[in-house]
Amino acid sequence: MRHFLHFLFATGVALSASVVPARANFADAQAAFELGDYQTAYAEFLKLAQTGDSNAETALGVLYDNGDGVPKDQRVAVMWYRKAAEKGNPQAQLNLGIHCEQGQGVEQEDAVALGWYSKAAEQGYAAAEVALGNMYHRGRGVAQDKKQANAWFKRAADQGNASAQQNLANALYFGDGAEINYAEAFKLYQQAAAQGYGDSQYNLGVMYEKGQGVPKDAAQAYFWWLLASAREVPDAARNRDRIEKSLTPAQRTEAQTAARQWKPALAQANRSNLETRPGGAVSRGQKNEPDVTGTAFRISPTHYVTNFHVVHGCQRLRVSGTQSAERQASDERNDLALLSVPASSGATAIIRIGRIHLGERVTAVGFPLLGIPSSTLSVTSGEVGSLSDVQGDTRFVQITAPVQLASSGAVFDASGNVLGLVEDKPNAAGLPQATGDIPKNANFAITSNALQGFLDANGVDFDTAGLGVATPSAQVAASAKDVVALVECWQ
C-alpha cells in the first residue's frame, strides 16, 4: 500500500494548538516531494516534526512508508504515525490503522485498527469512514454489520468520496445490507465515475446495457466501457469490443468524441490522502539505478505516452531524469500507457491523422530498455514496409528503421508528426517465441490511430496534423528530441 502526500496540506488538517509551524517550510517540502527531491523534503519535514507538528510527523511516516529519501522502514513509519495520531491527526490515525490491520511494522490487530479508524472517522475524515465501513462489512475487529458499514459509506459518500460512493452503490445494486435500488445505485456510480473511478465506469456500462435504473442505451454503455477499459478494469475491453459491433459509425464517432472531451472531476473530501496502487508499497531509496528504461513523448503539459511493456510492474517512475510520474492508464492489448506528471514546459508531440502510405519515410527516436545495449538516445530512419503485421493486424505497421529487440520509441513521419510507437517485436509480429528474433528489417509500430483512441478514452487533449511538407530526417530528429524523454522504472 502506497501513501501519498499530494493532498496532505490542501485538506486543512487540524494542527496541534500548541504549535504553529512555519507554513513556508511545508510549501518547500511539498514542492520538493513533487519534484522527487525526497532528501530535501525529508529535511524540511524533520525540522517541523521536531517542534511537535503533527502534519510533519505524518509526512515523515509517509516518507518512511514509501522509502522516499530514506530507507524504507515501516516500523519507523509507524512510530511517526503514532506520534501524530496521539495528537489527533486524522490522516496519521488512518495510516496507523492500516498498518495495524495489515500487520506492517506493528503487530497485526484488527481491534486496534478499528479503534484508530474510529477516531479518524469521528472527526469526519472520509477516507477513515470508508476504512471503518470496510471493517464492519467484513466483520474484522467487530461483529459483521453491513447496515452499519453502509451508514459509514454514506457519510463518506456525502462528502464526495468516490470509494464510498462505489461501495454504497454496490450495496444498493446487489441488496447487500440494503434494499435493491437501481436508481440510487446508478446515481452513486455516476458520482464516482465522474471522478475517474474505473469500477464505477464499468458498472455504468452494465446498467446502460441492461436498462437498470436508466433507459437502455448501447452507445452510453460503449462510452463508459471505453473509459473503463483504458483503466484496465477487468472485462471492460471485452464488453467494449462486443457492444461496438452493434453501433452505427455515427454512434461510435459520437461516443469516441465524448470520451476525448471527458475530464475527471476533481477528487473531493480527503480520498486522495490514502490512494493506493496495486502491488503494495513502493520500495524507494534502496537503489539508484532503475530496473528498466524506455521512451516516452510529451503529449500535453501534464501527460506523456509510452509503451505498456516499459512501465508494466513499475512501482516508481521518473521522466527526463528528474520528474516523478504516475501511470494514469494503460492498454495492454495495444501496448500503450499514459503517464501523468506535474505541469511541465516544452514542446508537445503532434499526432498524425489520415491514411498511412506504404513506402513513406519514417524516423524512429528512442531509448532501448536498460542494458540492451545502451541507454543513449537512438535515431534511425527507414520506410513503412507494410500496413499490417505478419498476421494482418492493421493496428500495426511494419517499418524498415532498425529497432532493437524489446525496445521502445516514437516513430515520426516525414513532417515530424508521431505516426506510431515502436512495438516489442515478438508481440507485434504475433510470432511464437520459439522462432527467435524477427527477421532483419521486419520491425513494427502501433499506429497513431490506435493511439488516438487510447487518448480519447482518457480525455487527453492533443494536437493532430496530416502528412505535410517533408523535411530532412536530421530536422525531424532534432524536433523529435524536444518531445522525447527517457522513462526510468523501479520495480
Q: What is the pLDDT of residues 76-102, one digit of tens each?
A: 999 999 999 999 999 999 999 999 999
9 compared with 156, residue with greater pLDDT = 156
pLDDT for residue 469: 85
What is the pLDDT averaged over residues 334-341?
87
Whether residue 432 is predicted with pLDDT greater than 50 in this model: the reply is no
pLDDT for residue 284: 27
Lowest average pLDDT, out of 232-241, 335-344, 355-364, goes to 335-344
Instruction: Provide the mean pLDDT of the chain.
Output: 80
User: pLDDT category, 3, cuts 50, 70, 90?
Assistant: very low
pLDDT for residue 457: 84
325 compared with 154, residue with greater pLDDT = 154
pLDDT for residue 191: 93
pLDDT for residue 391: 73
User: pLDDT category, 136, cuts 50, 70, 90?
Assistant: very high
pLDDT for residue 182: 96
146 compared with 14, residue with greater pLDDT = 146
pLDDT for residue 482: 84
The winner for highest mean pLDDT among 139-143, 193-197, 307-311 is 139-143
Whether residue 131 is predicted with pLDDT greater than 50 in this model: the reply is yes
pLDDT for residue 406: 44
pLDDT for residue 60: 92
Whether residue 375 is predicted with pLDDT greater than 90 in this model: the reply is no
Which pLDDT tens digit goes with each residue over 206-263?
999 999 999 999 999 999 999 988 887 888 889 999 999 999 999 999 998 888 788 8
SS3 sequence of the chain? CCCCCCCCCCCCCCCCCCCCCCHHHHHHHHHHHHCCCHHHHHHHHHHHHCCCCHHHHHHHHHHHHHCCCCCCCHHHHHHHHHHHHHCCCHHHHHHHHHHHHHCCCCCCCHHHHHHHHHHHHCCCCHHHHHHHHHHHHHCCCCCCCHHHHHHHHHHHHHCCCHHHHHHHHHHHHHCCCCCCCHHHHHHHHHHHHHCCCHHHHHHHHHHHHHCCCCCCCHHHHHHHHHHHHHCCCCCHHHHHHHHHCCCCHHHHHHHHHHHHHCCCCCCCCCHHHHCCCCCCCCCCCCCCCCCEEEEEEEEECCEEEECHHHHCCCCEEEECCCEEEEEEEEECCCCEEEEECCCCCCCCCEEECCCCCCCCEEEEEECCCCCCCCCCCEEEEEEEEECCCCCCCCCEEEECCCCCCCCCCEEEECCCCEEEEECCHHHHHCCCHHHCCCCCCCEEEEEHHHHHHHHHHCCCCCEEECCCCCCCHHHHHHHHCCCEEEEEEEC
75 compared with 474, residue with greater pLDDT = 75
User: pLDDT category, 146, cuts 50, 70, 90?
Assistant: very high
Lowest average pLDDT, out of 156-160, 171-175, 241-245, 339-343, goes to 339-343
Q: How large a percentage of the chain has pLDDT more than 70?
A: 81
390 compared with 222, residue with greater pLDDT = 222
Whether residue 448 is predicted with pLDDT greater than 90 in this model: the reply is no
User: pLDDT category, 407, cuts 50, 70, 90?
Assistant: low
pLDDT for residue 267: 53
User: pLDDT category, 422, cuts 50, 70, 90?
Assistant: confident
Lowest average pLDDT, out of 48-57, 259-268, 373-382, goes to 373-382
pLDDT for residue 387: 86
pLDDT for residue 229: 86
Q: How large a percentage of the chain has pLDDT more than 90?
A: 37
